[in-house]
Chain A
């Protein structure tokens, strides 16, 4: 906005530190606006996701933030929820493993969806799909973080309130993923549903390929290592 204003006044932008700070400020402004736009997306998903992509209301930075916040929420939930509602073996929890076990499938699902929908005239690019999926995680963050606090103020018998809200947050997220993909690819609901299932199959294929790749890599490595040993042994 400030750039636009200054441009309209006819002042020529200078290549200086002040311009750099100006653009940084603009970036931050856009970032915060796109973060705030998330609230609009989750309450008005049909319009929200359309504008998110086509009106460039969302940013990748904000999407990254939501994904990271989602992972942090997940870990905080495991560590801080009252033991009455969650039985997490804290002594075994590896924070990075926990995060990885969520982030990796998430990325693989995005990738599988992109791979499948590009073949069947989906309009979304990978960036768009990723952004839509990340924005769809917002209800989880917004509901689960307060619920961590609430869980420490409730007893086991009063837990129905807690579980209802938790499942509500998950259902909301799933609904948003559905609508988000529908808007991103410009599909109908039926086609979106079919491609959700196809995506899961695609993800399975990707995981299979990864496993094959790593096992072959391991075999190749051990081959070269034994070759090297053999040579060293012969030389001596």
Chain B
């Protein structure tokens, strides 16, 4: 008994001691994940070049207004646009080397006076029309009160109602003594007649104004009126027609220099030329597919090469609102697919009562967090609404690359899909749960960098979805973030906007980061030997870099050194490439050892055969001897 207990005790100790001490939490600034999903510390791929805040942008000299809650960055060539959302303005900064000069501040858009008049006439007419409708309704109500009939049926069919009212009035007038009309009807005949007349007049007026409104709209459209949000416009002192921005959340600039602004609280997307003259206002689509009870609140916009505008709108979960170049709403693209688990469905469908079903949330698709467009016109979108369990098996898809049909075509060739942090053990602070990727920017060669707001980290991925590096942290020092909100790039430099620190951190790649980039570049341009040499350089700086193993392996494979290539691929845990190298190696081995193989096979066949023959021969000899003896 004593022995058994001590044995069991020893077993228990064995299991306890086997628990890993490593909690997977990184202490270094830059890191990566190895094949086993363990954090591997890494040399820094990026260093802070400079931190731009209101002071070193010179905003204090310009108008003494510091940045307030900036929401978005946009870079076109060497121009950096900062959406200073809290101050209702956009700051354009010219970047040349280490210099960052504020070029201008955009806080309003200029419209043409003719368009303003057209919009004014249309908008006044439509206001009049609304007034006419209310008047007509009032007249109807008044008449109904007098005749004491319910108004509800009459509202539905205008023409029929008219006749009906006429009939009833006649009834009341003609057969007053025998009427079945309610007692409370106390109005005199004259009053009723007057009310009927007023109603008829109101109807006529409504019809007429409606006609005029339609005419005004058609006229405005025919003359190419660009202004639709009439309320937002006003005449300034010099008689210019201007409209002030109201919480601009995002900006985009196309190749011709036209500027697009998501003017959220004015319910519009503005398209204007480089001198801030309005070209078109994209407003709420009056389409049945767009929920008319919701306001049009564009948060993020991108523009493709053809000038189509894709707007990510608040409270709209059907995907991105797409406008053609001429401002016509042409539908939604890239809606998040609704995913329902089998268990959920059965539970909801068969076990809940109608009331319970009504109370629980519907299966609705989620909204995107941010969008970005790459050089090929594909939209990269990030989403932060998912369940943790869906992340690892690639059901959540926090990063997507949408084609024109709105399908996700992001390439994922690594063991783990691109989801930001793989392990999210809380580091003691408020940062818990998986990475929430708030923005993404696409570099050359389809590499992309995603920004995590939970831990203030940046994750770089190559075109195959393999993580290049991850870095960043929360905090107040340079290179740490409190409220990371937007990311952009100029070349390989990265710019990260912090909405709480009101600053932009500019990162530049270190020697290590630069070597990785050039190794990828050279490989993609077909210079495999140069690429291998560069990967060797990377390995000198970071001996735990799977991409380097793979890169060297591929180069070595091209030099027909199969055995060596196999070793590199094994280090990289690259099964496909290992298989390729091994197949060639096996072929070579069989060819060079063919005679040995033949010999072994022959021996395996011949030796038993020979032994059998000898035995048989022996047996025959013995039998022969026996037969002799018998004779």
Binding site for B on A (CB under 8 A): 83-84, 87, 89, 91-92, 94, 96-97, 100, 104, 153, 155-157, 210, 214, 217
Contact = CB atoms under 8 A, between A and B. Distances in A.
B570 A83 contact: yes
B36 interface: yes
B579 A97 contact: no
A156 B579 contact: yes
B461 interface: no
Contacts of A92: 20, 36
B573 interface: yes
Contacts of A84: 575, 578-579
B342 interface: no
Given A92-B20, A155-B579, A155-B586, 14 more contacts: A83-B573, A83-B575, A83-B578, A87-B35, A89-B36, A91-B36, A92-B36, A97-B15, A100-B11, A100-B15, A104-B11, A155-B578, A155-B580, A214-B8
B531 to A, nearest CB: 24
A157 B582 CA distance: 11
Contacts, number: 38
Contacts of A94: 18
B573 A87 contact: yes
Contact of A96 (B14, B579, B583): B14
Interface string B20-61: 100000000000000110000000000000000000000000
Interface of B: 8-9, 11-12, 14-15, 18, 20, 35-36, 570, 573, 575-576, 578-580, 582-583, 586
Contact of A153 (B9, B573, B586): B586
Indicate the member of A156, A157, A217 with the most B CB atoms within 10 Å.
Answer: A156
A97 B578 contact: no
B416 to A, nearest CB: 13
A39 to B, nearest CB: 20
A37 B9 CA distance: 37
A155 B18 contact: no
A157 B14 contact: no
B573 A100 contact: no
B583 A155 contact: yes
A156 B575 contact: yes
Indicate the member of A84, A94, A96, A100 with the most B CB atoms within 10 Å.
Answer: A84
A100 B16 CA distance: 13
A89 to B, nearest CB: 5
Contacts of A153: 586
- The prevalent SS among residues of B at the interface is helix
A22 to B, nearest CB: 32
Nearest to A152: B582
A100 B573 CA distance: 28
B586 to A, nearest CB: 7
Contacts of A91: 36
18 contacts: A83-B573, A84-B575, A84-B579, A87-B35, A91-B36, A92-B36, A94-B18, A97-B18, A100-B15, A153-B586, A155-B578, A155-B579, A156-B575, A156-B578, A210-B8, A214-B8, A214-B12, A217-B9
A97 B14 contact: yes
A206 B11 CA distance: 16
B13 to A, nearest CB: 11
Indicate the member of A100, A104, A153, A155 with the most B CB atoms within 10 Å.
Answer: A155
A184 to B, nearest CB: 26
Contacts of A214: 8, 12
Nearest to B12: A214
A91 B578 CA distance: 21
A154 to B, nearest CB: 8
A112 B205 CA distance: 91
A94 B583 CA distance: 32
B549 to A, nearest CB: 13
Contacts of A155: 578-580, 582-583, 586
Contacts of B20: 92
A89 B580 CA distance: 23
Contacts of B12: 214
A4 B131 CA distance: 121
The 4 closest A-B CB pairs, nearest first, are A155-B579, A156-B579, A156-B575, A84-B575
Contacts of B15: 97, 100
A84 B579 CA distance: 8
A80 to B, nearest CB: 14
A92 B19 CA distance: 10
B14 A100 contact: yes
A89 B576 CA distance: 19
A210 B5 CA distance: 11
A171 B243 CA distance: 75
A156 B576 contact: yes
Contacts of B570: 83
A36 B280 CA distance: 89
A157 B11 contact: no
B83 to A, nearest CB: 46
B183 to A, nearest CB: 80
A95 B9 CA distance: 19
Contacts of B579: 84, 155-157
A104 B35 CA distance: 30
A84 B20 CA distance: 26
Contacts of A100: 11, 14-15
Contacts of A83: 570, 573, 575, 578
Indicate the member of B8, B14, B575, B576 with the most A CB atoms within 10 Å.
Answer: B575
A156 B573 CA distance: 12
B14 to A, nearest CB: 6
Contacts of B18: 94, 97
A91 B11 CA distance: 21
B195 to A, nearest CB: 83
Nearest to B581: A155
A231 B8 CA distance: 30
A89 B15 CA distance: 17
A210 B575 CA distance: 42
A83 B581 CA distance: 14
Contacts of B9: 217
A92 B20 CA distance: 9
A188 B35 CA distance: 49
Contacts of B586: 153, 155
